[in-house]
Amino acid sequence: MYGITLTKDDPNPHNCFRFKELAELRAKQREAEDELFNIWESLVGDWRPDWSDINEPKWYLSFQWGERIGAYVAYTVTKQPPYRFFPTEELARRQYELASDHARAYMRGEF
């Protein structure tokens, strides 16, 4: 078994993996998630999506065909973490601009 140190909120609370490669992959993913969360927090401040307000736009980024990026609006409840939503399209796009190459690769689903 291979272990990595993450947070108590990780989907694998024991942080144990059967293969070393899986432990390393999860550590790499978590590093990107932490970076993206910190960027999100600095961009939106105290704003949080209000899912009871169907008129409030909640912007998020989506990737298709590798590098092609699009910003879209969600008005209904989604199971994605709130740190993937922004109050404006500009802030959603700004997160991608501020992200490191490592975090961008994660956002594109490359690992």
Q: What pLDDT is recorded for position 101?
A: 93
Q: Which domain holds residue 15?
A: 2-107
Q: What pLDDT is recorded for position 111?
A: 84
Rounded average pLDDT over 76-103: 84
Residue 79 to residue 97: CA distance in whole angstroms: 25
What the block records as the tokens of 5 is 């140190």
Supply the pTM of this predicted model: 0.77
Rounded average pLDDT over 21-44: 91
Residue of 84, 10, 19, 87 lying closest to 53 (CA atoms): 87
Instruction: Give the alpha-carbon dihedral of 25, 30, 31, 36, to 10 degrees.
Output: 130
How many structural domains does the chain have? 1
